[in-house]
Amino acid sequence: MSGLALAVAVPVLSLCSALPAWAGSALAAWRINRSGALELRTPPGTSIEAFFEEGRGLVGPRLWIDLPGAPSRSCSVRGNGAIREVRVGRPSDNTTRLVVEFRPGTKLDPAQLRLVGTSADRWQMELGSGVSGLDPFGEGDLDAPSTPSWRARPPAAVVPSGPMPSVEGLPSVPVGRYKVVIDPGHGGPDPGAVGINGLRETDVVLDVSLQVAQILQAKGVQVLLTRTSEVDVDLPPRVALANNSRADLFLSIHANALSMSRPDVNGIETFYFQDGPSRRLAEAVQLQMLRVSPGSPDRGARPGRFFVIRRTVMPAALAEMGFVTGQLDSPRLADPAFRRRIAVAIATGLLNYLVANP
């Protein structure tokens, strides 16, 4: 969660009624459940942001969620226990803000506040043990049938990011035979590394990952993504998705960084945990990335102990596409055309591995 303190100016015009005040916005339903978790329902693919502000003195802490679309009016629902009030308002012409205000003295740990996408149209944030034991309350139909989980999304559900890269000339594998998990690193309030001109790792890796997924799907590979939008997914759920789905391959996609005072450091590297299939996978991806990045140093396919490649049970690798702090790599990573090329390269590496290791 972000510790950024923003002013919450949400006028309370009326109580929420049977007709949702947020009609026209991306907020379909919300609820505080008995265990002290905030649950939301939105249209599939909605991008939302979460913020937290610590309380002081007679003012309790509060968190708020911003969603696309403006509500028709503002409203307020009185809480119970540690929660004083929940408000829905309109901070700008095209934003819905849901504010959860806590009573003074309520202790929340910002590091534990994670808004996680639990399916294509469901979100959940655990508020901590100090907010449990509530009488549940909320607005809208949160128990409506869920859109199929992103863990089982059909290929058409992956949202394109820019033009579809060409798949002509790429290796072919039997349609439907393989399942691959693509893990875009970081996300949501965790942007990963931030480099030259404010280039954020999360923006680069999500764009490339979605394109890799498109390419693989076009070649008949079933693809699961650990996230498809700017949400925060912890490391264990990423591993659990891969292991529970019995995927054939796992690839985590990242961008590297060093100090902003070292723009001379550039290069591409791919990590594996164990020799054997994982090493061959890392080498296949590394080779293809280098081919579309002339002049970028080859930092090699190397052993690494990253959680997501150490705990997955299938061949797994973690690719670092270049340095967002590098004077050579950063402009490339910021270029949509280069992102398309490296997405094709990564997909080619994965396909080459599958062809060579049927």
Please write the tens of the pLDDT for every residue from 17-67.
444 555 567 888 899 998 888 999 888 767 787 788 887 778 888 888 888
Q: Which of 13-22, 88-97, 116-125, 218-227 has the lowest mean pLDDT?
A: 13-22
The CATH code of domain 150-356 reads: 3.40.630.40
- Nearest partner of 108 among 133, 125, 127, 126, judged by Cα: 127
320 is catalytic: yes
In the chain, CATH 3.40.630.40 sits at: 150-356
Q: Indicate if the pLDDT at residue 149 is higher than 70.
A: no
SS (H, E, C) the chain: CECCCCCCCCCCCCECCCCCCCCCCCCCEEEECCCCEEEEECCCCCCCEEEEECCECCECCEEEEEEECCCCCCEEEECCCCEEEEEEEEEECCEEEEEEEECCCCCCCHHHCCEEEEECCEEEEECCHHHCCCCCEEECCCCCCCCCCHHHCCHHHCCCCCCCCCCCCCCCCCCCCCEEEEEECCECCECCCECHHHCEHHHHHHHHHHHHHHHHHHCCCEEEECCCCCCCCCHHHHHHHHHHHCCCEEEEEEEECCCCCCCCCCCEEEEECCCCHHHHHHHHHHHHHHHCCCCCCEEEEEECCCHHHHCCCCCEEEEEEEECCCCCHHHHHCCHHHHHHHHHHHHHHHHHHHHHCC
pTM: 0.58
In the chain, CATH 2.60.40 sits at: 29-139
Q: Indicate if the pLDDT at residue 13 is higher than 90.
A: no
pLDDT digits (tens, 9 = 90+) for 101-125: 999 988 887 767 777 777 778 888 8
> What pLDDT does 165 receive?
59
| Residue range 302-306: mean pLDDT, rounded | 95
> What pLDDT does 7 receive?
29
Q: Which of 59-73, 77-91, 157-171 has the lowest mean pLDDT?
A: 157-171
Give, in words, the CATH class of 29-139.
mainly beta
